[in-house]
Amino acid sequence: MTDPTIPLQAGVEAPDFTLASTSGEKVTLSSFRGRSPVLLAFFPLAFTGVCTSEMCAFSEDYGAFAEAGVTVLPLSIDATPSLKEFKEKYHIKVDLLSDIKREATRAYGVLRPESYTSQRAYFLVGTDGMIRWAHVEAHPGLRRENAEILEAIKAALA
């Protein structure tokens, strides 16, 4: 078992999960194998400043990620009803995943024990199920710009 506070690195198999989505459907990471690389974007809490700007940016750049062939799966520890309200309020195009039991957060090593939320972290999972790129922010007030994430995706999948 991995330490829930030590983030996974590129080169290891991505832990599988099935989480509730704002679409009303459950999403299983392994269902993307052989079909599409996936960017897992862990964010601490809906309706907070940095998380709101980050999710709105993903929504604005939805086409750029689609053009890169990458499925973006943002996930947080918020309950699905909260995430649905968050998505509607800010017109977010991507579906959001609820990790309310913190299973994925623990499996990827991004649990913040002091707040019981996730760190802001990004994991690019290749079509083979392996983590190709990983980045964890030093603190939740930081986030990567989409241009930087897209460059990292391009380099990791080259």
Q: Which of 14, 19, 38, 51 is catalytic?
A: 51
| Banded model confidence at residue 142, pLDDT cuts 50, 70, 90 | confident
Query: Which fold is adopted by the domain 18-157?
Result: Glutaredoxin (3.40.30)
Scan for tokens 């099935």, then name that residue.
18
Question: So where are the chain's domains?
Answer: 18-157
Q: What is the mean pLDDT of residues 57-85?
A: 94
Read off the pTM: 0.93
pLDDT in tens, 39-49: 999 999 999 88
> Which residues have CB under 8 Å from 139's CB, separation 6+?
none
Q: Respond yes or no: is residue 51 known to be catalytic.
A: yes
pLDDT in tens, 91-127: 999 999 999 999 999 999 999 988 899 999 999 999 9
Supply the pLDDT for residue 90.
Answer: 95
Name the burial class of residue 85, with classes exposed (0-12), middle (13-18) and buried (19+) by CB atoms within 10 angstroms of its CB.
Answer: middle
What is the C-alpha to C-alpha distance for residues 148 and 23, in angstroms, rounded to an integer?
Answer: 28
Percent of residues, the chain, with pLDDT higher than 70: 99
Name the burial class of residue 102, with classes exposed (0-12), middle (13-18) and buried (19+) by CB atoms within 10 angstroms of its CB.
Answer: middle
Q: Which helix (H) or strand (E) holds 19?
A: strand 18-21
> What is the torsional sign of CA 32, 34, 35, 36?
positive
